[in-house]
Structure 1
Amino acid sequence: MANDSLEEKPLAPAAARRLAIIDEAAPSPKLKAEEHRWRHGTCIKCCGCVSALLLVLAVIILVLAFTVCHVKDPVLKMESVNINGLDGITNLTGGAPAKNLTVVVGVAVRNPNAASFRFSNASTAVYYDGVVVGEGRNPPGVAKARRTLHMNITVYVMVDIILGVSSLSEDLRSGVLPVRSYTEVPGKVKILKIVKKHAVVKMNCTMNVNIETHRIQDQDCKRTVSF
């Protein structure tokens, strides 16, 4: 019979069929190379983006460090001095000298920082012939960012101590009283709740008080800031 004359081809084993399927599904070397290049390029792009981001952050930090976060020295300036009750000392022949002698010192605190400068009690001391003859304090305050705060410090002068200075009579005859003042303003600057610096602004001034006009002349002030 015709069917008997045809040779039946045996089927391939199952293992061979599985190997053939795996070989057909496996990517070619060309596809592997392209996939490797794609992964390599993606990795380079990611590294580049991260590096660029870190560089931008570093630049921002540097800019903040040299601008906003850089703490500058507050500036203290004596604007005016008003003396009340000086006649009680100069008119020694007219009876007992006045006990009430006050010096009102006008002080300006300039804050060049991008944050407020908060200070505690500002104090001023007045010296005559090296002796402390008066002291005064001002309540705590705030110098706003890049603003100037004006305040008056009232110094109460101890007349009895002035009258005990040996050079008083000679200075009264010359018409000029040489005095010195020392003002101290302790405070702190806090920027972005991160940078906090304590500062003490100090000012030493020498001046001459004109007895006739009750005005200050030849004033010379030196300022220092310590952190």
Structure 2
Amino acid sequence: MADPKQQVYPLAPATMPRSDQESATNYRSEQAMKKKKRMKCLAYIAAFAVLQTIVIVVFSVVFLRFKTPKVRMEQVTITNIGNGNIVSFSARVTVKNTNYGRYKFDSSLATITSGNGVVLGQLAIPEERAGARSTKRILVVGDLASPTGDSNGNLAVTIAANLRGKVEILRIIKRKKSADMLCTMTINLPTNSVQDLACK
């Protein structure tokens, strides 16, 4: 039987101090894990940078590509007044804006000339704005003074106008754009009809 006065000491842990080889292996493993984490982080940063570049390029190509609006004339109406000395002229001017920003243009005048270059009258186009990717329709009226047609009463006319304005994107980016209108038509004075209306 053991002596109760005898002191009992706990056993020493069974672990043995690691050798230099084990320490080196663990150090290399830790370094490899850190390197792997750094590479993964760099890969994420590179992917984000590529994505940002693609977004910027697409935005620049699609949204920041400024196009010249198209100005045309349609629905022309002729009324012969004043015993044929004056012809009342009304039409609808369309401003087609294909940009991703609104097109704001200043007031302008459309000049009506006959086939031999004589100015017959002018049409006032008021200051307006065409929304992004939309068409603005404007009613214009005027008078043609002393129009003279050929033997059949046909009068060939040309209507020209220039709109000066700016395309605005996000109300920050602005670009000046001038839009030209050149329309030709034949007016039959006896019947007050319009034929062969063409714009470019």
Shorter-chain TM-score above 0.5: yes
**1:86–1:210 distance in 2 versus 1, CA, 3 Å:** farther
Instruction: Tell me the equivalent position of 1:118.
Output: 104
Q: Which residue identity is paired with 1:191?
A: I
Q: Between Structure 1 and Structure 2, whose CA radius of gyration is higher?
A: 1
* Aligned match of 1:196: 174
Measured against aligned partners, the alpha-carbon deviations of 1:142-200 in whole angstroms (never above 9, x if no partner) come to 111222211112234344xx5xxxxx4xx353210111110222222112345422211
Write the letter of the residue equivalent to 1:60: V
Counterpart of 1:137 in structure 2: which amino acid? A
TM-superposition CA deviations, 1:34-81 (whole Å, max 9, x none): 232222122211211110101111111122123233333422221122
Alignment of 1:126-205 (within 5 A): 126-128=112-114, 129-159=116-146, 168=148, 171-205=149-183
3-state SS of 2:160 partner: strand
The one of 21, 37, 46 equivalent to 2:41 is 46
TM-score by length of 1: 0.69
More helix by percentage: 1
Q: Which has the higher strand share?
A: 2
**Percent identical residues:** 26
Aligned length: 179
CA contact (8 A) 2:72 2:183 kept: no
Q: Name the structure 1 match of 2:189.
A: 211
Residues 32/193 of structure 1: CA separation in 2 closer, same or farther (3 Å cut):
farther
How far does residue 109 in structure 1 lie from its aligned partner after superposition?
1.4
* Deviation, structure 1 residue 86: 4.7
> In structure 2, the residue corresponding to 1:174 is in which secondary structure?
coil
Decide whether the 8 Å contact of 2:97 with 2:134 is kept in 1.
yes
Q: CA RMSD in A?
A: 2.4
1:196 is paired with a residue of what secondary structure?
strand
Gaps of 5+ in 2: 1-18
Task: Report SS of the residue matched to 1:181.
Answer: strand
Specify whether residues 194 and 57 from structure 1 end up closer, same or farther in structure 2 by C-alpha distance, changes over 3 A only. Answer: farther
Gaps of 5+ in 1: 1-23, 90-96, 163-167, 223-227
**Structure 2 length-normalised TM:** 0.78
Residue of structure 2 equivalent to 1:103: 89
Structure 1 residue ranges (4+ consecutive) displaced by more than 3 angstroms after TM superposition: 84-87, 156-159
The residue that corresponds to 2:12 in the other structure is none
The letter of the residue matching 1:196 is K
